[in-house]
């Protein structure tokens, strides 16, 4: 997250190939290392967008809308 400039943001927008957006919380994922992960809503978004198929590769792109990061899934 830090590499991509996501330091103090608490939310990220997930967007599918049709432009459907879902606001998801960024949560702490291991306080010892300062890691962050996608929180509640991510799994539902991925299931609705067919991202969670095991072994199926996908591409994503991180862009910014004002001060909010947007993770766009490209299929």
**Residue 34's pLDDT is what?**
66
Spatial neighbors of 1 by CB under 8 A, at least 6 apart, are 7, 26, 35, 36
Residue 2 has pLDDT above 80, yes or no: no
Residue 51 has pLDDT above 80, yes or no: no
**CB environment 54-64: b (16+ within 10 A), e (fewer):** eeeeeeeeeee
Q: Give me the mean pLDDT over the 43-66 stretch.
A: 80
Residue 31 has pLDDT above 70, yes or no: no
pTM: 0.76
């Amino acid at each position: 997250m830090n590499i991509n400039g996501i330091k103090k943001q608490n939310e990220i927008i997930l967007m599918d190939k049709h432009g459907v957006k879902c606001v998801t919380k960024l949560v702490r994922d291991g306080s010892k290392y300062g890691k962050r992960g996608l929180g509640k809503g991510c799994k539902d978004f991925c299931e609705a967008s067919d991202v969670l198929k095991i072994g199926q590769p996908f591409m994503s792109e991180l862009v910014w809308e004002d001060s909010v990061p947007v993770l766009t899934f490209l299929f």
